[in-house]
């Protein structure tokens, strides 16, 4: 199982009305969760990508 956490990103989903800072968890190529930037903990063995405030959005 491949797990990636994108931290310090701006999450945007125009269809869902989402536009906020946060963290994105991806497991095996599928979005598995969204957190606030202050969320604690990273799944063991996950790769962590520091986004530096970059935008993440579908498409």
**How far apart are alpha carbons 36 and 51 in whole angstroms?**
14
Task: Enter the pTM of the model.
Answer: 0.87
Tell which wins on pLDDT, 38 or 29.
Answer: 29
- Please give the residue range of the domain that contains residue 37: 3-56
* Number of structural domains in the chain: 1
Whether residue 37 has pLDDT greater than 80: no
Q: Provide the CATH number for the domain around residue 25.
A: 2.30.40.10
């Amino acid at each position: 199982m491949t797990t990636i956490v994108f931290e310090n990103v701006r999450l945007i989903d125009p269809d869902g009305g989402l536009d906020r800072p946060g963290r994105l968890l991806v497991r095996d190529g599928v979005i598995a969760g969204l957190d606030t930037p202050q969320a604690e903990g990273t799944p063991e063995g996950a790769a962590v990508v520091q986004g530096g405030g970059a935008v993440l959005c579908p498409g």
